[in-house]
Structure 1
Amino acid sequence: MGIVRKPRKKYSGPSHPWEGERIEEERILTKEYGLKNKKEIWKLTSKLSAIKKQAKRLVADTSDQGVKEQELLIKRLISLGILTEGASLDDILEISVKQLLARRLQSMILTQGIARTSKQARQMIAHGHITVNANKTNIPSYLVKTSDDLAYAPSSPFTDNEHPELVIVKKEDLKKVDVVELPLKEKPKETPTKTEAPKEVAEVKEETKTEAPKEVAEVKEEIKEVTE
Structure 2
Amino acid sequence: MGYPGKNRKSYETPKHPWQKERIAGEVDFIKTYGLRNKKEVWKAHIILKKYRQAAMRLLAETTKGEVSTHIKRETNDILTRLKKYGILSEEGSLDDVLALEVPSILERRLQTQAHKQGITRTKRQARQFVVHGHVAVNGCKITVPGYMLTKDEEMHISYYTSSPLNSEDHPERQEKVIQTVALETTNTTQEE
When normalised by structure 1's length, the TM-score is 0.72
Which of 103, 112, 134 matches 1:98?
A: 103
Structure 1 partner of 2:64: none
Amino acid at match of 1:156: S
Amino acid at match of 1:9: K
Q: Distance in 1 between the 2:183 and 2:57 partners?
A: 52
User: In the TM superposition, what whole-angstrom CA distance separates every residue of 1:63-122 from its partner, at most 9, and x where no partner exists?
Assistant: 111111111111111111111111110000000001111111000000010010111101
| CA radius of gyration, larger in | 1
Structure 2 partner of 1:125: 130
Amino acid at match of 2:72: V
Looking at both structures, which has the greater relative contact order when contacts are Cα pairs under 8 Å and sequence separation is at least 6? Answer: 2
Which of 159, 168, 176 matches 1:161?
A: 168
Task: Tell me the secondary structure at the aligned position of residue 177 of structure 2.
Answer: helix
Q: Distance in 2 between the 1:58 and 1:11 partners?
A: 23
CA distance 1:172–1:67, shift in 2 (3 Å) = farther
Mapped pair 1:75 → 2:80: yes
Structure 2 partner of 1:47: 47
Unpaired runs of at least 5, structure 1: 178-228
User: Aligned runs of 1:24-39 on 2, under 5 Å?
Assistant: 24-39=24-39
Which of 40, 64, 73 matches 2:69?
A: 64
CA distance 1:53–1:173, shift in 2 (3 Å) = farther
Which of 126, 143, 149 matches 1:138?
A: 143
Task: Tell me the secondary structure at the aligned position of residue 136 of structure 2.
Answer: strand
Q: Distance in 1 between the 2:111 and 2:183 partners?
A: 25
Amino acid at match of 1:87: G
Structure 1 partner of 2:91: 86
CA distance 1:4–1:71, shift in 2 (3 Å) = closer
Unpaired runs of at least 5, structure 2: 62-66, 187-192
1:23 deviates by 0.5
Contact conserved, 1:116 with 1:169, CA < 8 A, in 2?
no
1:126 deviates by 0.7
CA distance 1:103–1:172, shift in 2 (3 Å) = farther
When normalised by structure 2's length, the TM-score is 0.85
Amino acid at match of 1:145: T
Task: Tell me the secondary structure at the aligned position of residue 158 of structure 2.
Answer: strand
Identity %: 41
